[in-house]
Chains A and B, each alone.
Chain A
Amino acid sequence: MMTGMWALYAREVKRFQKILLDTVFSPLVSVLMYLGVFGVVAGSRTIGEGPHALPYITFVYVGLLGMMMVNSSFSNPSFALIIAKNVGNIIDLQLVPIKAWKVGIAYACAALTRGLFTLVVAILATAWFIPGLGIHSFVYLILALVLTGLEFGMLGVTFGFWAKNFEALTFMTTFIMQPMIFLAGVFFPIATLPAPWATISQFNPIHHNINLLRYAVTGYSDTNPIVSLGVVVGMSVVLFGIMQVVTRKNLRV
């Protein structure tokens, strides 16, 4: 039944609306900080030459938006679930007549919503000083945003059930997510990385989320966008499978 799942989705959206300042403000501050630093470094450098050259600052900007999408959609469900487990109201999810995978999807959709919301606010606040922003492919843009939000939402759900406490969450974001994001081609084209890293980055799933979004916005891509789309879809399917198992194990007998 749709309505039960919808109510859970609405509840999780309401939850982040209650902490609007956290939702919007901290990611915005971090984007602005990165932009400040890279704006100074970048100057008027471009990627490529001629009329289709992409200003370096625009390259970084879209990467930062992708990073923001990854981070907010991951942290929303993982925070909510770790809190629920510690407070004890995870029992609500065990009692309600909603299939476990639908519980997971409701959380992932709320994560996507939060990601989009954060992104829109960030764009409204900052896009005006980024040169040459547009939409290269609307279809790719929708795919990149929706799939990235769901993918990391599902990862956040899985992790939220798995992690015992916030230390585990901090460990995950600091030692796994952040390094992967840094090696995903957010700040520079992965081709400019020294030898093994360029290849390794191809196997970094987050690279493909960033690449897809950058292609959708600017038309520039480090890796063939079809390949990136395939990886992102593949990751989403795999994570859906894992999330389904984990939610069922945690919520159902």
Chain B
Amino acid sequence: MQSLTITGVTKTFETPKKGIFTAVDNVSITIEEGKIHGLLGPNGAGKSTLISMISGILKPTSGTISILGVDVVAETEAAKKLLGIVPQEIVAEVAFTVEEVLYYFSGMYGVSEADRRVRIREVLRELDLEDKMHERARFLSGGMKRRLMIAKAILHRPKFLILDEPTAGVDVSLRQKIWAMVRRLNAEGTTILFTTHYLEEAENLCESITLIDHGKVIKDGNLKDIQQEFSKNIIHFELFDRSATHLAGVQETGNAYEYPMTALGEDMAKLTAHYGDNLKSIRSEAASLEDVFLKLTNSGV
């Protein structure tokens, strides 16, 4: 089943200076249940605008969005129940402690009082915030506020979790912690969509990605396939016996060799047949997302 279906969604804003501005332009994306999907694009690409529409807090100018078959505009409360959202902008409650923020917020999703008490402790422990439980939320550091927002989004155990740049401006250890948590939630069956402009993060976590730029989808699909498609068309290999006779086209690069690839499977077979047991290693070079991005956009990220 599709967890998220976005069909032809466009969002335009009327701005005093630029007139009508299209922030999201005819975007269609589907995400299967159980996936970790990355939404990637440079600043201003339209990621947060798209997420606001998925969250049901911004109305698409045209197009439809549904979560597990529930339309976010027509059945907004039903859709919201399925969603957990970590917005990009950090907001903190003025008056309440960390525990109170979580207690009331998850209560608003209908989590029972007993469950709330247990889950708040669990989640705060996982996010290393347990000792801040009784402190006023607004006095937390930036990283802690970010964790509190993540905690808010997961206490009601949403089927679909959306994180908008969860690791922007957080230190390395917290980033690792967030990644671990995302993986755990995914392993337990939560479908995840997150935005980032750290390509390395997407390579680390996602199975599938959507690249957007200037509000338009410029690439969409399985991460490995995309990397393959943009790979440099070179097969690298190493040999035990370097005195072997070479196939035409093979070039020596330091200790290893390169072969220009036309079709991965055939070329691999050809090389394996020729060198046989003499092959120490062989691989095709996958493109990094960065390469993909640089090729698809003029700007890079």
Contacts and interface: CB of A to CB of B under 8 A. Distances in A.
Given A95-B80, A97-B81, A253-B58, A14 B109 contact: no
Contact of B91 (A91, A99, A252): A91
A87 B57 contact: no
A189 B109 CA distance: 49
Interface in A145-194: none
Contacts of A3: 107, 110, 112
B92 A7 contact: no
Contact of A96 (B59, B87, B105): B105
B93 A14 contact: no
Interface string B89-107: 1011111100010001111
B195 interface: no
Interface string A1-41: 10110111011001100110000000000000000000000
Contacts of A91: 57, 87, 89, 91
B108 interface: yes
A94 B78 CA distance: 13
A80 to B, nearest CB: 9
Q: Chain B interface residue count: which class?
A: 20 to 34
B48 interface: no
Nearest to B87: A91
Looking at B59, B83, B94, which has the most chain A CB atoms within 10 Å of its CB? Answer: B94
Given A91-B87, A97-B110, A10 B94 contact: no
A91 B87 CA distance: 9
A14 B85 contact: no
Nearest to A84: B94
Contacts of A94: 55-57
Contacts of B76: 97, 252-253
A234 B85 CA distance: 40
Contacts of B109: 4, 96-97
A209 B159 CA distance: 48
B77 interface: yes
A97 B91 CA distance: 19
A19 B96 CA distance: 11
Contacts of B110: 1, 3-4, 97
A89 to B, nearest CB: 4
A4 B108 contact: yes
B31 interface: no
Nearest to A5: B108
A98 interface: yes
Contact of A87 (B81, B91, B100): B91
B57 A6 contact: no
Contacts of B104: 7-8, 10-11, 14
B298 to A, nearest CB: 34
Contacts of A49: none
Interface string B198-238: 00000000000000000000000000000000000000000
Interface residues of A, number: 26
Nearest to A2: B110
Interface string B121-132: 000000000000
Nearest to B58: A253
A95 B89 contact: no
Contacts of A15: 95-96
A92 B57 contact: no
Nearest to A88: B91
B73 interface: yes
A89 B58 CA distance: 16
B112 to A, nearest CB: 8
Contacts of B92: 87, 89
B180 to A, nearest CB: 25
A18 to B, nearest CB: 5
B95 A18 contact: yes
A6 B110 CA distance: 9
Contacts of B105: 92, 96
A211 to B, nearest CB: 36
Interface of A: 1, 3-4, 6-8, 10-11, 14-15, 18-19, 83, 87-89, 91-92, 94-99, 252-253
Interface of B: 55-59, 73, 76-78, 80-81, 83, 85, 87, 89, 91-96, 100, 104-110, 112
Given A11-B100, A92-B108, A95-B85, 17 more contacts: A7-B104, A7-B106, A8-B104, A10-B104, A10-B107, A83-B94, A88-B89, A89-B91, A91-B89, A92-B91, A95-B57, A97-B78, A97-B81, A97-B109, A97-B110, A253-B58, A253-B76
30 contacts: A1-B110, A3-B110, A3-B112, A4-B109, A6-B107, A7-B108, A10-B107, A11-B96, A14-B96, A14-B104, A15-B95, A15-B96, A18-B95, A19-B95, A83-B94, A91-B87, A91-B91, A94-B56, A95-B55, A95-B83, A96-B109, A97-B77, A97-B80, A97-B81, A99-B77, A252-B56, A253-B57, A253-B59, A253-B73, A253-B76
The 5 closest A-B pairs by CB, nearest first: A7-B107, A253-B59, A11-B104, A97-B80, A96-B108
